[in-house]
Amino acid sequence: MNVNYPDEFGRYGRFGGQFVPETLMAALEELESSFRHALQDEAFMKEYHHMLTEYAGRKTPLTYAGRLTEKLGGAAIYLKREDLLHTGAHKLNNAIGQALLAKRMGKEKIVAETGAGQHGVATATVCARLGLECKVFMGAEDMERQKLNVFRMELLGAEVIPAESGSRTLKDATNEAIRYWVTHVEDTFYLIGSVVGPHPYPEMVREFQRVIGEETKQQMIEAVGDVPNAAVACVGGGSNAIGMFSPLLAEKTKLYGAEAAGEGINTPNHAATISKGRPGVIHGSLTFLMQDEAGQITEPYSISAGLDYPGIGPEHAHLADSGAAEYTAVTDEEALEAVQLLASTEGILPAIETAHAVSLAARKAAAMESSETLVICVSGRGDKDVQTMNDRISSQKEAEA
């Protein structure tokens, strides 16, 4: 298929664009032009890949999941191990790319938003490494839920600023980061954490995450002589999924995204943006959006703070719209079961975000032929979620007893 989007207006089909205050437009123009030059600059790309290798620990392994494959009795399952990347999730790929770009543009101050804290930690990490000043906005509610990540960011030298507006979660942290950026746009680089936001952010984050899919493709060819028949990734904003999908779009690979169904898509408590949202504007981009009748953005819910976002990257909206990828909502409960499934069969404890992909992958793999292959993007490790898992799994056991 044709993958030469976004167009010059930052559109992916009917999605994307730049719905931001005029104050930011010049900064976005400058960013786009610097980004395009950097991509063409061999020295820049060399530095980026060098840092991915020598600092972040790429390339990440592709692990054959033999016991999981056997248990499900369908497609051969492979795991792309972004959980083994420095800081424990794929987020660092993008943070490195954007921080190097900021440096190249002469911006020494970084501002970022974070939900669960993974992107905040990745940003704080790379800022420490490159000697950049780092401010991270985090919903006050999320700071309470993810105290350890707040402490990690502070250890890394970042200033964590509570977002007290609205529901005090990721959406509000993003609003606050944008408000901060509007005020300090002349010397500050906004390092966004997913394939969301105004153009060129969705494209830029995609390009800094596509290393996931490129390595996977090559590793699958080495392992089985062909690209995978299917690839599965979880989708909040959708950066690990785009990273995996983008290099596979032109291939035969079927692409599956798992979004968060929370307590169920027919309850009010979910974050199933594609299943239940309508096109609308959030954080500068036209995309599928959870909103009420009048166009007010509604509060998403998921057990996983990383998928708890009312929008989705505009490229995903387009892939869903055009049928190039298929998106399915996975509940909290199904994700928790998938954590236990992967932990007990392969000795890998995935992040709850990732577990949504594992759950969907298990369903898909079981329905495929044993001659086929399926790769799961294991976007992050689950250490950060052990407390949440413990609370939920023990309360379930109590309820059953």
Task: Determine, following the binding rule CB under 8 A, whether residue 151 of this chain makes contact with other proteins.
Answer: no
Q: CB neighbours of 370 closer than 8 A, spacing ≥ 6?
A: 73, 74, 75, 76
185: contact with other proteins by CB under 8 A? yes
The reply to whether 27 sits near other proteins by the rule CB under 8 A is: yes
Report whether 160 contacts 120 (CB < 8 A): yes
x-or-dash string of contact with other proteins, 311-340, rule CB under 8 A: ------------------------------
The correct pick among 3, 26, 155, 386 for binding other proteins (CB under 8 A) is: 26
Interaction of residue 225 with other proteins, rule CB under 8 A:
no
Considering the complex, state which of residue 314 and residue 350 has its C-beta at the smaller distance from other proteins.
314
CB contact at 8 A, 329 and 302: no
Angle of helix 91-104 versus helix 42-51 axis, rounded to 10: 140
| Options 6, 12, 17, 319; binder of other proteins; rule CB under 8 A | 17
Q: For other proteins, which stretch binds (CB under 8 A), given 180-188, 220-228, 244-252, 386-394?
A: 180-188
Q: Does residue 268 belong to the site contacting other proteins (CB under 8 A)? A: no
Residues marked active site are found at 91, 113, 379
Q: Tell me the closest approach of the beta carbon of residue 95 to other proteins, in angstroms.
A: 23
184 near other proteins, judged by CB under 8 A: yes
How far apart, in whole angstroms, are the C-alpha atoms of residue 113 and residue 132?
A: 16
φ, ψ (nearest 5 deg) of residue 37: -65, -40
CA distance 98 to 100: 5
Contact at 8 Å (CB) between 345 and 68? yes
**Of 171, 217, 254, 318, which lies in the binding site for other proteins, with binding defined by CB under 8 A?**
171
Tell me how far, at minimum, the Cβ of 7 lies from other proteins, in Å.
12
Q: What phi, psi does 263 have (nearest 5°)?
A: -85, 0
Supply φ then ψ for residue 101, to 5 degrees: -65, -40
Identified binder of other proteins from the candidate list 6, 12, 18, 334, rule CB under 8 A: 18
Cα–Cα distance between 227 and 223 in angstroms, integer?
Answer: 10
Tokens 């929008």 locate to: 311
User: Which stretches of the chain bind other proteins, using CB under 8 A?
Assistant: 9, 17-27, 165-166, 171, 175, 178-179, 182-186, 278-284, 286, 289, 291, 293-298
